Amino acid sequence: MHTGDTDDRNDFLAARFEEQRGHLRAVAYRMLGSVAEAEDAVQEAWIRLDRSDAGAVQNLGGWLTTVVARVCLDQLRSRKARREESLDGPMSIPEPLLSPPDGLDPEQEVLLADSVGLALLVVLEQLAPAERLSFVLHDMFGVPFDEIAPIVERTPAATRQLASRARRRVQGQAPAPDRDRGRQKEIVGAWLAAARGGSFEGLIALLDPEVVLRVDLAEVALGAGAVARQALTFQRLAPYAVPALVNGALGIVTIPPGGKAVAVSAFTVSGGRIAAIDIIVDPARLGGLDVTVLEG
């Protein structure tokens, strides 16, 4: 092949790949819960495409989605093996995406389409790798089970069962959020005011009776009373709380003097009440956050 032909092929492939990049990043982020790891998975898909006989690929989008899914599955299985080797080590904590309370940037809009809240990512982290892949590909991206089955090395019927188990976990632990961002803002603002004022009754009024509070994936309080009491123990930090969008839903970032975030709190508002609060305090996840996007 002449150099000119090679360059044309590469340019053509690169252009077609770029058309798929947003979709592939969205798949990988739901699979891995990390923007950086998602980018790595997408880059690996490009490397494999560049080395392949792309002319023989009839459905490039489907082919790339399958490649990214396989890369992510390998990563999830590797994580699981490391946890088991370290005697039940910690699960990977999802990476929150922060943006100002008045809206997401276009790139985040693509990444978070269909409301990938932090509560959902937390539940996805608790699934077995094959369950997570089956649920994400089928329920979030409409990939048929007969296309998912070869990736997880199961029959289509068994793959359907994997997704069904995952779906029950998600529905039970990550309630569907209210979409009205204005209402979310009102409720989270009222929560902040009650926390700053030390109002137990004010907090209770905003909470679903079966609300769950999780910190770095671990459940620390269940039920309105327990969660309100837990919130009051952090009253001293309330003055440093800054409203923000956390994965597209109203939340709070706690930034004491010094300019570094010490906590990111994501609220799931469902049925007009706070149904879940997921807080990340893990320094490894918080260290890379750009809190300057919240200034002003």
At which residue do the structure tokens 């947003």 appear? 22
- The rounded distance, in Å, linking the Cα atoms of 140 and 162 is 14
Phi, psi of 204 (to 5 degrees): -55, -40
Helix-then-strand count for the chain, H and E: 13, 7
Residue 289: per-residue pLDDT: 79
Q: Is residue 131 scored above 90 in pLDDT?
A: yes
pLDDT tens-digit series, residues 159-183: 999 999 999 998 887 777 888 888 8
- Amino acid (1-letter code) at residue 58: Q
Q: What is the DSSP letter of 204?
A: H
Q: Is residue 1 scored above 70 in pLDDT?
A: no
- What percentage of the chain has pLDDT greater than the value 70? 90
Q: Do 35 and 95 form a contact (C-beta atoms < 8 A)?
A: yes
Please name which of 216, 218, 221 lies closest in space to residue 204, comparing C-alpha atoms.
221
Q: Is residue 147 scored above 90 in pLDDT?
A: yes
Q: How confident is the model at residue 75 (pLDDT cuts 50, 70, 90)?
A: very high
**Tokens at 284, concatenated:** 């490894």
Domain 181-294 indexed as CATH 3.90.190.10:
no
Please name which of 204, 206, 197 lies closest in space to residue 226, comparing C-alpha atoms.
204
| Chain region(s) in the chain for CATH 1.10.10.10 | 122-173
Mean pLDDT of 263-292: 87
Q: Which residue has the higher pLDDT, 210 or 291?
A: 210
- The rounded distance, in Å, linking the Cα atoms of 135 and 141 is 9
Pick the CATH number of 1-87 from 3.30.1340.10, 2.60.40.1080, 1.10.1740.10, 3.40.630.40: 1.10.1740.10
Residue 274: per-residue pLDDT: 94
Mean pLDDT of 64-69: 93
Q: Residue 271 is inside which H or E element, if any?
A: none
Mean pLDDT of 184-197: 91
| Chain region(s) in the chain for CATH 1.10.1740.10 | 1-87
Q: Do 182 and 175 form a contact (C-beta atoms < 8 A)?
A: no
Q: Do 286 and 280 form a contact (C-beta atoms < 8 A)?
A: yes
- The rounded distance, in Å, linking the Cα atoms of 133 and 35 is 17
| Chain region(s) in the chain for CATH 3.10.450.50 | 181-294
Q: Which residue has the higher pLDDT, 286 or 111?
A: 286
Q: How confident is the model at residue 13 (pLDDT cuts 50, 70, 90)?
A: confident
Residue 160: per-residue pLDDT: 97
Mean pLDDT of 219-244: 90
Q: Is the CA virtual torsion 74, 80, 86, 92 positive or negative?
A: positive
Highest mean pLDDT range out of 15-24, 46-55, 71-80, 101-110? 71-80
The fold for domain 122-173 equals Arc Repressor Mutant, subunit A (1.10.10)
Strand partners, 246: 98, 249
Lowest mean pLDDT among 39-43, 110-114, 185-189, 246-250: 110-114
Lowest mean pLDDT among 14-23, 57-66, 111-120: 111-120
| Phi-psi sector, 95: left (phi>0), alpha (psi -120 to 50), beta | beta
Distances (CA, A) of 128 to 58, 143, 147, 174: 31, 19, 19, 17
Residue 73: per-residue pLDDT: 95
Q: Is residue 2 scored above 60 in pLDDT?
A: no
Q: Which residue has the higher pLDDT, 149 or 2?
A: 149
- The rounded distance, in Å, linking the Cα atoms of 273 and 206 is 5
Q: Is residue 91 scored above 70 in pLDDT?
A: no
- The rounded distance, in Å, linking the Cα atoms of 181 and 189 is 12
- The rounded distance, in Å, linking the Cα atoms of 266 and 278 is 5
Residue 31: per-residue pLDDT: 93
pTM of the model: 0.81
Sheet order of strands, 241-246 included: 98-99, 241-246, 249-254, 263-270, 273-280, 207-215, 218-222
Phi, psi of 23 (to 5 degrees): -60, -45
